């Protein structure tokens, strides 16, 4: 589904990603871990198409299409979803209106008619129940005045509505207390299926207690330096990142 | 020939027909004031960013021309679906054939000022020229000396308008460069309530200059919904002066929408002359090309326990320019004043300009006043956020700008006006 080959990227001349290789197959959950400054958020930004980053080498193929040549909106319409680390507050635009626009623009892209208003509301109600969302959140301005936990849950709710093929979750656990973490993770787990893939970016292992990954990769200095299964995350929790840093230094 | 000399010729023409009334006296002294002041230049603090040079440069004629084009324009371009009372003025003179009065509003006087001066002489002389001072304000003096006609609205004590009153001013510059000087007088008596929409249109290949003065009196415990809608195409210049005089316990909601205008200067003054007044003033300007709009507002808190809330927002494209100058004057007696003021602007181009200046002058010591001004671009983060959900850039921009304008749109209680605003946002973006 997703094929990242030798990806190198920089921002304002500063090299951040130094040759990433990653293959994600349908239905797989990949966790990307790593110390601060390793390039985790850069990777998610490059995948979503944030303009600040310049890709200097390599390629990203998504279902056989060159992702790097697509605008952010086209990536979304092709089925890539980014759950933001810091979801943006948009005063004056309700979550309902926002999602209706997003869904209908995607349908338009695929040559489909816009969703009927009643069908849309029904669909939204179902997803709200599934995600255990408070009804009042959807009529309020998007993320405006939401708590940290509400914002993250709203991201997962949007994911449920947009039904992506690939969801990239950028430090979704940051700033969440344990209850919010459980709610968010439950939401994500309900969306897991044999076709939908996840790239879960996190600094801490605790999110992975709830969202159990198939693969864990350690990102350091802009490269994936170690890969393993879910037990690698446990090991990192116990031992920290220093031993990996040492391994990398020794290998050089 | 200088502008003042030209105006003097016009004035002498009026004077030849003048009677010995107090009204003629008012015009006479206004003209003396105009000659004394001259047309203000940009050296004048109040006109620093707003250059009136065009008054000298363009050979305007004080024409009261009514062309068929204007009537056609009116019937084709002005919302007719809204059930309302209507008065129409073309180039400053009354077009009686387009008047509409709803039977439910028969108890309210809705007529033109020239006939009201005779038919309702008491009310006219009690209020005319009492609020909009000519002293030190050259363009008010010019209007008072040389005004043509305008609307006269009188809502008697305890009455309410059943339907809005729409006063339409059309500047028709299809044949010559025209100068219009309309004058409105709106009186809402004690315990009465009214909705008034002032609608301004301009079109034609020549230049036009509309120098309008509105005087509004709102009696004790009365309320007024007041809208100004400016859709001014072509080479149109407008100086729009409004003085609102409020007695105690009055409630005013005022919204100014400038949706097009090459050169617009709005002067909007409220004077709260009693306690427990609520004055809400909001504005939205949508500018593109070389359009220029200047909103000068002034709110006088003269008595204690009054509330004012002011918010003006602007969206500027291309090389357009906006000026905002909001003065809040809290007089010595006006304890427990609450006054809020904000001016927020979004620039959609590097070449658009905003000059914004909040001014608070506070002489009482127990008051709450805040003000703030922002000038910025559409933020990139919300834009990227929306795009990352599949919403294309142009749709995202429209959503964001609609959201920005929504603050003001929600102050408008007439859905037809909101629809015009939304249509215009759609068109301009």
**Does pLDDT of B70 surpass 90?**
no
The distance of A71 to chain B (nearest Cα, Å) reads: 8
Q: Given an 8 Å threshold on Cβ–Cβ distance, is B382 in contact with A90? A: yes
Rounded Cα–Cα distance for residues A9 and B428 (Å)? 38
**CB contacts, 8 Å: A102 with chain B:** 386, 389-391
**Does pLDDT of B130 surpass 70?**
yes
**CB contacts, 8 Å: A109 with chain B:** 390
Alpha helices in chain A (DSSP H): 40-48, 72-78, 95-109, 117-130, 136-139, 148-162, 178-191, 206-210, 230-239, 242-251
Taking only Cα atoms into account, the Rg of chain B, rounded to an integer number of angstroms, comes to 21
Q: Which tens digits make up the pLDDT trace of B19-34?
A: 778 899 999 999 999 9
**Does pLDDT of B336 surpass 90?**
yes
Q: Are B266 and B292 in contact (CB under 8 A)?
A: no
The distance of A235 to chain B (nearest Cα, Å) reads: 34
**How high is the pLDDT of residue A252?**
75
Q: How confident is the model at residue B78 (pLDDT cuts 50, 70, 90)?
A: low
pLDDT mean over A16-26: 95
**In chain B, whose CA is at the least distance from the CA of A87?**
B385
Q: Given an 8 Å threshold on Cβ–Cβ distance, is B388 in contact with A101? A: no
Q: pLDDT > 90: what percent of chain A?
A: 75
What DSSP string describes B312-368? EEEEE-TT-EEEEEEEEEE-TT-TT-EEEEEEEEEESSTT-EEEEEEEEEE--SS-E
Write down the number of H helices and E strands in chain B.
10, 20
Rounded Cα–Cα distance for residues B222 and A126 (Å)? 49
**CB contacts, 8 Å: B402 with chain A:** 92
Q: pLDDT > 70: what percent of chain A?
A: 100
Q: Which residues partner with B57 through β-bridges?
A: none
Q: Which tens digits make up the pLDDT trace of A220-230?
A: 999 999 999 99
Residues of B with CB under 8 A from a CB of A: 381-382, 384-393, 395, 399-400, 402-404, 406-407
Residues B316-339: b if buried by 16+ CB within 10 A, e if exposed: bbebbbbbbbbbbbbbeebebbeb
Q: Given an 8 Å threshold on Cβ–Cβ distance, is A88 in contact with B402? A: no
Q: Given an 8 Å threshold on Cβ–Cβ distance, is A90 in contact with B400? A: yes
Angle at B57 between CA B54 and CA B61, to 5 degrees: 90
- What's the DSSP call for residue A213? -
Instruction: Give B95-132 as a 3 state SS string.
Output: CHHHCECCHHHCCCEEEEHHHHHHHCHHHHHHHCCCCC
Q: Given an 8 Å threshold on Cβ–Cβ distance, is A88 in contact with B392? A: no
The distance of B394 to chain A (nearest Cα, Å) reads: 11
**Does pLDDT of A163 surpass 90?**
yes
The distance of B194 to chain A (nearest Cα, Å) reads: 30
Rounded Cα–Cα distance for residues B89 and A95 (Å)? 45
- The sign of the torsion formed by the CA atoms of B402, B407, B413, B417 equals negative
**Does pLDDT of B64 surpass 70?**
no
Residue A108: phi and psi, rounded to 5, are -60, -45
Q: Which tens digits make up the pLDDT trace of B274-321?
A: 999 999 999 999 999 999 999 999 999 999 999 999 999 999 999 999
**CB contacts, 8 Å: A101 with chain B:** 391, 395, 399
**CB contacts, 8 Å: B403 with chain A:** 90-93, 141
> Who among B381, B391, B406 is closest to A101 (CB)?
B391
Q: What is the pTM of this model?
A: 0.87
Residue A209: phi and psi, rounded to 5, are -70, -30
Cβ-count burial of A238 within 10 angstroms (0-12 exposed, 13-18 middle, 19+ buried)? exposed
More confident residue, A61 or B380: A61
**How high is the pLDDT of residue A82?**
95
Q: Given an 8 Å threshold on Cβ–Cβ distance, is B395 in contact with A71? A: no
pLDDT mean over A195-224: 93
Residue B375: phi and psi, rounded to 5, are -135, 120
């Amino acid at each position: 589904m997703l094929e990242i080959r030798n990806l190198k990227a920089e921002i304002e001349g500063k090299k951040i990603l130094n040759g990433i290789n990653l293959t994600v197959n349908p239905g797989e959950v990949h966790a990307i871990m790593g110390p601060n400054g390793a390039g985790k958020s850069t990777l998610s930004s490059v995948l979503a198409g944030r303009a600040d980053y310049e890709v200097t080498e390599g390629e990203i193929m998504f279902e056989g299409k060159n992702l790097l040549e697509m605008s952010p909106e086209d990536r979304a319409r092709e089925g890539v979803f980014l759950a933001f680390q810091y979801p943006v507050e948009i005063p004056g635009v309700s979550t309902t209106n926002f999602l209706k626009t997003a869904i209908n623009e995607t349908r338009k892209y695929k040559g489909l008619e816009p969703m009927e208003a009643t069908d849309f509301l029904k669909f939204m109600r179902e997803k709200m129940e599934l995600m255990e969302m408070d009804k009042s959140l959807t009529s309020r301005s998007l993320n405006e005045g939401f708590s940290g936990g509400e914002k993250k849950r709203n991201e997962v709710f949007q994911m449920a509505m947009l039904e992506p093929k690939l969801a990239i979750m950028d430090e979704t656990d940051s700033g969440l207390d344990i209850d919010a973490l459980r709610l968010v993770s439950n939401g994500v787990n309900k969306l897991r299926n044999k076709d939908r893939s996840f790239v879960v970016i996190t600094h801490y292992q605790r999110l992975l207690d709830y969202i159990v990954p198939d693969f864990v990769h350690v990102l350091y200095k802009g490269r994936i330096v170690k890969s393993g299964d879910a037990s690698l995350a446990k090991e990192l929790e116990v031992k920290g990142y220093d031993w990996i840093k040492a391994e990398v230094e020794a290998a050089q | 020939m200088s502008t003042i000399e030209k105006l003097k010729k016009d004035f002498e023409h009026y004077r030849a027909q003048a009677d010995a009334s107090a009204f003629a006296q008012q015009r006479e002294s206004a003209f003396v004031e105009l000659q004394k002041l001259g047309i203000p230049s940009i050296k004048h603090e109040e006109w620093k960013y707003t250059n009136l040079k065009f008054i000298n440069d363009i050979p305007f004629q004080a024409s009261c021309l009514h062309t068929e084009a204007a009537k056609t324009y009116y019937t084709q371009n002005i919302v007719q679906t809204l059930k309302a009372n209507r008065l129409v003025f073309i180039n400053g003179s009354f077009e009686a054939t387009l008047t509409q009065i709803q039977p439910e509003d028969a108890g309210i006087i809705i007529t033109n000022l020239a006939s009201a001066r005779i038919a309702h002489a008491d009310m006219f002389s009690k209020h005319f020229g009492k609020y909009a001072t000519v002293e030190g304000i050259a363009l008010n003096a010019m209007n008072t000396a040389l005004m043509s006609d305008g609307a006269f609205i009188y809502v008697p004590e305890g009455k309410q308008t059943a339907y809005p009153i729409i006063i339409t001013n059309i500047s028709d510059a299809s044949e010559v460069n025209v100068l219009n000087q309309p004058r409105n007088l709106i009186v809402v008596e004690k315990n009465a309530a009214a909705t008034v929409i002032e609608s301004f249109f301009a079109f034609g290949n020549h230049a036009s200059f509309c120098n309008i003065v509105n005087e509004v009196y709102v009696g004790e415990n009365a309320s007024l919904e007041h809208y100004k809608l400016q859709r001014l195409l072509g080479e149109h210049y407008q100086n729009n002066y409004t003085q609102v005089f409020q007695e105690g316990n009055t409630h005013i909601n005022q919204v100014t929408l400038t949706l097009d205008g090459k050169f617009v200067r709005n002067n909007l003054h409220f004077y709260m002359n009693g306690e427990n007044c609520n004055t809400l003033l909001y504005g939205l300007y949508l500018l593109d090309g070389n359009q220029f709009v200047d909103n000068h507002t002034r709110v006088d808190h003269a008595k204690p326990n009054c509330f004012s809330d002011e918010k003006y927002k602007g969206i500027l494209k291309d090389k357009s320019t906006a000026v905002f100058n909001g003065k809040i004057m809290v007089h010595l007696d006006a304890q427990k004043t609450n006054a809020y003021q904000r001016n927020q602007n979004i620039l959609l181009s590097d070449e658009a300009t905003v000059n914004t200046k909040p001014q608070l002058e506070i002489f009482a010591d127990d008051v709450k006043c805040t003000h703030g001004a922002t000038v910025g671009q559409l933020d990139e983060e919300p834009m990227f956020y929306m795009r990352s959900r599949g919403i294309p850039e142009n749709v995202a921009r429209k959503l964001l700008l609609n959201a920005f304008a929504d603050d003001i749109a929600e102050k408008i209680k007439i859905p037809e006006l909101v629809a015009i605003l939304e249509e215009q946002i759609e068109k301009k973006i």
